[in-house]
Homo-oligomer: A and B are copies of this chain.
Amino acid sequence: MKAALQAYVDLINAGDADGVTALFAPDAVIEDPIGSEPRSGPAIAAWFADTVAYQTRITPVAPHRGSHADEALLIFDVEFTPPGGQRLRIRSADACRFDEEGRIISLRAFWGPDDIQPA
């Protein structure tokens, strides 16, 4: 699971939207941030296309955490530039659940209104 989380970081930082999308199971659900409308299916590929278009860079800020089950945690700061806007930084963490093939089936991002600021 930790290797998949690191691949997620590396593929986003390399601008490989197809590669990062391939880390997810076909029925995966992304809730980013927690409390927002979940994305699934084609919306996930679109989400990562935007992620790459926004020049997103992820910096892990603590070692990845595992669990004694099928969940693991990626702790990071992320910077990106939304269309027409200034560059932003979010202090975030992605709680991920994996299927038996090692694909992410659920990603839930911990960040609140006071965790985002100009980069």
Contact = CB atoms under 8 A, between A and B. Distances in A.
Interface of A: 33-36, 61-63, 65-69, 71-73, 75, 91-93, 95, 110-115
Q: Which of A34, A114, A115 has the most CB of B within 10 A?
A: A34
18 contacts: A34-B67, A34-B69, A34-B71, A35-B67, A62-B91, A63-B115, A65-B91, A65-B92, A65-B115, A66-B110, A66-B112, A66-B113, A66-B115, A67-B110, A68-B113, A73-B110, A75-B75, A75-B93
A72 B114 CA distance: 12
Which 9 pairs, one residue from A and one from B, show the smallest C-beta to C-beta distance? A66-B112, A35-B68, A35-B69, A34-B67, A65-B110, A73-B110, A33-B68, A61-B62, A65-B93
Contacts of A61: 61-62
Contacts of A72: 110, 112
A110 B93 CA distance: 12
A65 to B, nearest CB: 4
Contacts of A34: 67-69, 71
